Amino acid sequence: MTDKYGCIIRGDTTQRKIAFVFTADEYGEGASFILNALNNYQIKGSFFLTGNYYRNPENGEHIKRLVADGHYIGPHSDQHLLYCDWSNRDSLLVSKAIFGKDLEANYVQMAQWGVDKRQARFFMPPYEWYNRSIVEWAAELGVHLVNFTPGLRTAADYTYPEMGQRYVASDKLYEEVLAYEAHHPNGLNGFMILVHLGTDPRRKDKFYHRLPELIEVLIAKGYEFKRIDKLVD
């Protein structure tokens, strides 16, 4: 399923299959916890990491483990660029040349860790914010833009109390996932659920700590967890 911009936002709605997608740029303190949780349930996740993340030496052991454990690894832009204006989505903030150069630089960083570009054609844009031009530019480079499935607010796990009304506690995010699953005819079939690999230290209430509990509940409901390339292939 694609949105009005042409970005892939959901897999098959008739199949009880889900992809957990994780993004990271500046923060990644949850990597060990998340990888352990996925390993405990033999789940392969999908990780979209910026060049900034790859260049941080503190992340080296986690990157090695991502590769060794067989998770999907895709680009998230090299410099975590904002592609278009927040209030006027049609207004581009980057040129086609800058977009392409930045994306290629991300792939260069990935290659240094043994990630083959040919096996990493799904790309989650930085800030999960894009327009049709970005989707088309990516397609011209042989890359498919993907984004989390609308309907859940787990992407708000980056917020922290000092943000005021924008802050969403992890209990609320968790409850909303289960409520959506229970009240929609196709549940979470084909969903791509976004969780950040790390968040601002001002957020003490880390949503990724709820992953084991959430996984167990969804397994009990009959869901399978797939890499994104297997979910939407």
DSSP assignment of 24-88 equals: ESS--TTHHHHHHHHHHTT---EEEE-HHHHH-GGGHHHHHHHHHHT-EEEE--SS----B-SS-
Statement: residue 89 has pLDDT above 90: yes
Could you report the per-residue pLDDT of 101-122, keeping only the tens digit for each? 999 999 999 999 999 999 999 9
Domain range for 91: 17-231
Share of the chain above pLDDT 70, in %: 100
Mean pLDDT throughout 84-90?
97
Is 4 within the bounds of a domain? Answer: no
Mean pLDDT throughout 179-193?
97
Is 8 within the bounds of a domain? Answer: no
Q: Compute the distance between CA of residue 152 and CA of residue 156 in angstroms, rounded to an integer.
A: 9
Q: Answer for the pair 148, 180: CB distance below 8 angstroms, yes or no.
A: no
Q: Compute the distance between CA of residue 52 and CA of residue 219 in angstroms, rounded to an integer.
A: 34
Mean pLDDT throughout 29-36?
98
pTM attached to this predicted model: 0.97
**CATH number of 220's domain:** 3.20.20.370
Is 12 within the bounds of a domain? Answer: no
Is 59 within the bounds of a domain? Answer: yes
Is 7 within the bounds of a domain? Answer: no
Mean pLDDT throughout 203-221?
98
Q: Compute the distance between CA of residue 112 and CA of residue 73 in angstroms, rounded to an integer.
A: 13
Mean pLDDT throughout 182-206?
97
Statement: residue 233 has pLDDT above 90: no
Task: Give the bridge partners for 146, in sequence order.
Answer: 8
User: How many domains does the chain divide into?
Assistant: 1
Could you report the per-residue pLDDT of 130-173, keeping only the tens digit for each? 999 999 999 999 999 999 999 999 999 999 999 999 999 999 99
Mean pLDDT throughout 187-210?
98
